Amino acid sequence: MPNFSYVAKLEDGRRVTGALEAASENVVLEALHRQGMTVVDVKPSKGISSRSGGKVTMDDLAVFARQMATLVDAGIPIVGGLEAVADQLESKALRDVVRKVRESVEGGTNFTAAIGKQSNVFSPLFVSMVKAGEASGHLAEVFDRLATYLEKSAALQRKIKSACVYPVIVISMALVITAVLMLKVIPAFKDIFTTLGAELPLPTKILIGVSDLTRQFFLPGLVCLGGGLFALKKFVRSSQGRFQVDRLLLKIKIVGPIVRKVAIAKFARTLSTLIRSGVQILSALEIVADTSGNQVVSGAVLRVKNSIREGENIAAPLAASGVFPPMVVRMIAVGEQTGRLDDMLTKVAEFYEDQVDAAVSGLTSALEPVIISVLGIVVGSIVLSIFLPIFKLTEMLGR
């Protein structure tokens, strides 16, 4: 999910800067308005970065949460725990942020407010869970749940990214090889064939024609492609564009089921972690909607929130959304009835994380031979078309 940096004014007129992870700019605007801020500027930013520079990854936050869980559980005060963690964190960016949090706590600020000031690193989910942990006196357990949640989320992201790396590399290589053949190799052979003056086979004529068109329109084509990608990027960043893209992704036959499973796994894991940590259900659903990564799912979650505010249950609006499968809806309904909603959501998250793992592995295994076959056919056809005139000329000389 993209990150957005913002500049806003507080009620007393002070300017503040920060960053939030959200599905779109509109989500960021709504989140800041709810905090009583007047937004001056919002723009996309790359990664989760600290004000001192550098990026803070989800793995870094997981390590921080795991270490804090151990230290708090051992009875070490927050200030001492923050100092100990800061000394051994590998991420310089996070180390600087943790030291700022420690200084704030030493100055009399409570822990939740101190990490809340570092909103460019600590998400609303992180802050809400710490707040619930402080209020309930179970901060060590909350940090442990946060670490588990971040580790699971990071693992899920790595699986998806690793599945995309191989096809992207192979397709990129295929495009580069084809471009070199079309722009450099085939024109050289064309000059040789013209010198010989022999009648060329039809496949060779077609290949030379394609090569000529490629050379003629290569630069204009690159400009048009760049412009199209820029326009698409702007469209996707808009609220309506993001919604349309997310809805389209859910409908694509091969990709759609995986996108749906990822969204359900993230929804269930996030909501389970928040509920188990003592965050109120309405606040939890609001955080889940902001961090869902899919506008269609986000809309469904917000409808659930509105239904609960009006006295309804969770299961009915989830079923009406059409995003969540009947099995998930039934498990959530049973969890509501038995008072074990967090346990049921955890089971749903684990089930769909396993499903995503299997689906991604299966898709990767299926794509590999397809990509190699297509690459072989394209390159093989080009090479064969080049050598056909040479074979014909050899036969003529042999006679």
Q: What is the DSSP string of 261-310?
A: HHHHHHHHHHHHHHHHTT--HHHHHHHHHHTSS-HHHHHHHHHHHHHHHT
Q: How many C-beta atoms surround the C-beta of residue 244 within 10 A? A: 15
CB 6 within 8 A of CB 18: yes
pTM here? 0.67
Please report the pLDDT score of residue 200 as a whole number: 78
Domain assignments of the chain as residue spans, ordered by start: 3-45, 160-399
Distance CA 107, CA 274 (A): 29
Distance CA 378, CA 371 (A): 11
Does the pLDDT value for residue 140 go beyond 70? Answer: yes
Span of 44-53, 71-80, 161-170, 221-230 with lowest mean pLDDT? 44-53
Structure tokens at 290: 């902001």
Please report the pLDDT score of residue 14 as a whole number: 60
pLDDT confidence bin for 52, thresholds 50/70/90: very low
Look at residue 42 and give its three-state secondary structure.
strand
Please report the pLDDT score of residue 134 as a whole number: 79
Does the pLDDT value for residue 13 go beyond 70? Answer: no
- pLDDT per position as a tens digit, 99-128: 888 888 888 888 888 888 887 788 887 888
Mean pLDDT to the nearest integer, 32-61: 65
Mean pLDDT to the nearest integer, 147-157: 83
Mean pLDDT to the nearest integer, 262-291: 83
- pLDDT per position as a tens digit, 325-348: 888 888 888 888 888 888 888 888
Domain 160-399 has CATH 1.20.81.30: yes
